[in-house]
Amino acid sequence: MRSKSFCTSVSLLVVALVIGLSGEAIHAQTTGQPAPDHPSITVQGRTYTPRSILERNMGTSEDQTTQFPPHKIIGNIYYVGTKTLSSFLIVTPQGNILVNSTYERNVPTIEKSVQELGFKFSDIKILLGTHAHGDHQEGDALVKQLTRAQVMAMAEDVPALQAIKPGGKEHPIDKMLRSGESVKLGGTTLVAHLTPGHTRGCTTWTMKEKENGKTYDVVINCSLRPPNVLTPAVIDEFNLSFKLVRSLPCDVQLGDHPAQYNMEEKYMKLKDHGTNPFIDPQGCQLEADIEETMFHAILGEQQKSPRP
C-alpha cells in the first residue's frame, strides 16, 4: 500500500503539470526544498543556471503584472504586455490579432496598452497563444468575453488549456490548429509551428512584416526552457524543436518572455530614431543557443546519475 506522503506528492505533481507550474515549483512542493541551482553553463560570456533562467524570464510578482510601455516593434506588430510577460498586438484592416493573454489579472493592463496605442480592444478578432501555461494563456476566457475573439490553439495543447479555469471559467477553444497551419486576417498570415518540449503543444509563430519598403521574417518563439527531469519523450521533442527553430528564417526574434529577446535594451534604443533595434538577424539564435546548451547539460547530468 502506498504511503500518504507518496500519494500527496503525486497529486501535487499532477496539479502542477496541469496548471503549468515550473519544474522548480514542482520540486519545491514535492520535496520541500528549492530546485538545485545546477547545472551551470556559459553562453557568449554569460553564465546561466536553470534557476537564473527562470528568474530572468519571470522577474518578480510585481514585474509580471506591471505594464511595460506599449510600443511598435515592426510593421503592424506592437508590444502590449507587462515587464516580463509578453503580449503582442497585430493590427490588420479587418481587425486585430492578440498573441498571449497572460494572466487573467493582466487583461485590463493589456487593454490599457492597446488603447494607449490608439486601437480598440474590441477590434481583436483572433486570440492566439504560445503555450498552455497560466502566465501566458490564463486570460483567454476573459479576452473572449470582452472581445468575442476566436480562440485558436495547437491541438496538442488543448487538454492542458482546458484545465486552466480561472474563477471556474471554461477555457474557450474555437479552433484547433495543426503544425504548419496558417491563421489569416486582413492580409496578414501567421504560421503555427509545433515546437514541443516545454509543453506538448508549444507553438512558435512566424510571419512577414514590411518596414521602409523591405520585408522581414518575424519569429515569435515559444519557450525552449527544459524541465529539470527529461523523459525519453521530452528529449525527442526538444531535439526536434531545436532543429525546427534553427531552420526558420528570422530577422526579428520575439518570445513569450521579453528577456528572451532583450526587449528592454532594444526598446531603449528606439529613442535613438536610427535603425530599428528589433531587426536583429544575428541575435535570432541566441535564446536557442542558451536553452539547447542547458538542455544538453541537464541531460548529461541525468545520464551520469539516473533518477528513479
Using one digit for the tens of pLDDT, what is the confidence trace for 68-121? 999 999 999 999 999 999 999 999 999 999 999 999 999 999 999 999 999 999
Hey, what CATH topology would domain 52-304 get?
Metallo-beta-lactamase; Chain A (3.60.15)
Give the torsion through C-alpha atoms of 145, 146, 148, 150, to 10 deg. -80
Identify which of 67, 97, 71, 112 has the alpha carbon closest to the alpha carbon of residue 85.
67
In this prediction, residues 175-192 reach a mean pLDDT of: 98
Using CA atoms, how far apart are residues 212 and 174, in angstroms rounded to an integer? 36
* Block residue for cell numbers 514535492: 30
Identify the helix (H) or strand (E) that includes residue 175. strand 175-177
Residue 84 phi, psi (nearest 5) = -130, 0
- Report the percentage of the chain scoring pLDDT > 70: 87
What is the CB neighbour count within 10 angstroms for residue 287?
23
In this prediction, residues 28-44 reach a mean pLDDT of: 65
Contact between 129 and 167 under an 8 Å Cβ cutoff? The reply is: no
pLDDT of residue 38: 86
Using CA atoms, how far apart are residues 65 and 51, in angstroms rounded to an integer? 21
Q: Is the pTM of this model over 0.75?
A: yes
Q: Which three cell numbers stand for residue 223?
A: 519557450
Using CA atoms, how far apart are residues 226 and 296, in angstroms rounded to an integer? 10
pLDDT at residue 12 tops 70? no
Long-range CB contacts (< 8 A, 24+ apart) of 260-264? Answer: 260/57, 260/221, 260/223, 260/287, 261/221, 261/287, 263/68, 263/79, 263/86, 264/68, 264/83
* 306 — pLDDT class (breaks 50, 70, 90): low
